[in-house]
Structure 1
Amino acid sequence: MATDHAIGIDIGGTGIKGAVIDLGTGELVTDRVKVRTPEGGRPADILAATEELVTGIDQRTGTKLPLGVCFPAVVKGGRTLSAANISREWIGLPAEEMFEKALGRDIHFINDADAAGYAESRYGAAVGVEGLVILTTLGTGIGSALINDGVLVPNSELGHLELDGHDAESRAAYSAMERESLSWEKWAKRLQRYYSHLEFIFSPDLFVVGGGVSKHHEHFLPLLKLTAPIVPAVHRNNAGILGAAALAIR
């Protein structure tokens, strides 16, 4: 495999998935492989499951390619400072170092929404966009990434902005729509409140909306009235893998 390939690993609350990426095109050059995230999401168990996944990819490629890992936590200086849908035991751990030891090589370790945002700026909906792009993933919560002129500003937690006395994601995430059986129109009103607030604070040049629900974007994005364009993400399920791989060689 050429040096213009890298492995991206995306660790989530339910699954750990990975593939080899062609860094020129952003295309997967191997099938995406996935293992279940171990029950409870504890450090030793996730490390072991990730090692198993990476070993399988290494055997398939016959070499140890550059490796990026994205993770559902705020990541600073290689440490995980939060934990979303995984064990709280991760909080405060030197996670990058732990993964490097388990996987037997240097890695690039990054927040999962940041990886997705970077993927969209390199290979997706935000390619070539000048100025500020805000990616949000609408799912269990709201993940976010800020990319300014192609440069990632890490660890924005825009799902946790306080709006009308609530954590924004508690009312505007896709899980709120499901939990409260909201119609697309009623949910869109909450999204309007949320994105209008983001626009007021940041004046972005583009919003990109990811998460599984973005495949139904025609039901809610046209209902939003914003100054900046708002478009669906291109790489929904593979965004974390792509972004992690692309950052592995930086």
Structure 2
Amino acid sequence: MKIAIDIGGTFIKAGVIDSEQNLYSYQKVKTPNNKDRGIVKEVIRIIETYKQEFNLNNPDVGISTAGVVDSKKGEITYAGPTIPYYNGTNFKKALTDIAGNVEINNDVSSALLGELIDYNTDVKSIFLLTIGTGIGGAYYEDKLLEGKQYRACEIGYLLYDKNTGKTYEDRGSTTALKTSIQEQYKEVITVEKLFNKAHANDEKAMKILKEWANHVAEGIAQIQIMFDPELILIGGGISKQEERLIGLIEPFIDDYLPENYGHAIIETTSKGNDSALYGAVSTFYN
């Protein structure tokens, strides 16, 4: 039994996962202010709770987290405005007295590791694109690609437009889509409701989605050119739209590639927003 913890800017999710990929005692709590090491304190509380509930002694703990992570040191090297006061937090040091082995990875990398559990070993190269508040990426080919400063695949910063000051994630994130919805509708329309409207042939909804999907497709074309993966997975809450999402984005991808270039298979993630929890502890079971 391994303890899995996923730290986001809004919530911390946690559970205990066994070797058969069964998830127990799932919990979701609001991410505390980290000014006084609130996140570390909450992580310690979660671990102590699971130790008592499952009678665990020096348990292995896998942590998935927002921010740039030095996975060897177990330290957050950059979090930006996502989680204030988070830079420099070192979980391996903080958990020395209450846990056994501690593994920590960026949340998108963890999500990709979680998805790899379900894929046949014949698939050698996978890129995970997460679309949510921002846009994140992770690439696996024999191992995770991390980069010298652990900042590989920060694709949300691609495609910067000097005239508008906007990046790929400024145009292709779910946040960007929600902004477009608010500009076009006076009533409150959720992303899910927008997809339903478009599916019912609502012209305004389809126009908004096609403009947004065009931006998403442009980034996917760059991923194809740079990494040449066999499979591109789309994760984040919007992945719940599954085939409706893929069918919307895929027709635009070739517009940003050389003629007859081709692209990887595009799919949505299988575990949704829980992929990172499974991925956080996946290395313990390999």
- The Cα shift of 1:152 comes to 1.5
Give identity over the alignment, percent. 26
| Aligned mate of 2:69, from 68, 72, 75 | 75
Which residue identity lines up with residue 158 of structure 2 in the other structure?
L
User: Which residues in structure 2 correspond to 1:188-207 (within 5 Å)?
Assistant: 188-207=213-232
User: Which residues in structure 2 correspond to 1:37-76 (within 5 Å)?
Assistant: 37-38=31-32, 40-42=33-35, 44-64=37-57, 65-76=59-70
| Aligned mate of 2:127, from 104, 110, 134 | 134
Which residue identity lines up with residue 160 of structure 1 in the other structure?
Y
User: Which residues in structure 2 correspond to 1:173-212 (within 5 Å)?
Assistant: 173-181=173-181, 183-212=208-237
Which residue identity lines up with residue 29 of structure 2 in the other structure?
V
Which consecutive unaligned segments of at least 5 residues does structure 2 have?
A: 182-206, 254-262
Structure 2 residue aligned with 1:234? 270
RMSD: 2.1
- 1:16 aligned onto 2:12: yes
- Secondary structure of 1:220's match? helix
Structure 2 residue aligned with 1:160? 157
- The Cα shift of 1:106 comes to 3.3
- Secondary structure of 2:234's match? strand
Structure 1 residue aligned with 2:193? none
CA deviations 1:174-198 (Å, max 9, x no partner) are: 1110112272222111111111111
- Aligned equivalents of 1:122 and 1:84: distance in 2? 30
Tell me if the contact between 2:60 and 2:99 (Cα under 8 Å) persists in the aligned partners.
Answer: no
Which residue identity lines up with residue 179 of structure 1 in the other structure?
T
Which residue identity lines up with residue 81 of structure 1 in the other structure?
T
Change in Cα spacing, 1:61 to 1:84, as seen in structure 2 (3 Å) is: farther
Structure 1 residue aligned with 2:203? none
Change in Cα spacing, 1:234 to 1:210, as seen in structure 2 (3 Å) is: same
- The Cα shift of 1:141 comes to 0.6
| TM-score, with length taken from structure 2 | 0.76
| Aligned mate of 1:117, from 112, 123, 148 | 112
Tell me if the contact between 1:79 and 1:94 (Cα under 8 Å) persists in the aligned partners.
Answer: yes
- 1:100 aligned onto 2:95: yes
Greater Rg over alpha carbons, structure: 2
| TM-score, with length taken from structure 1 | 0.87
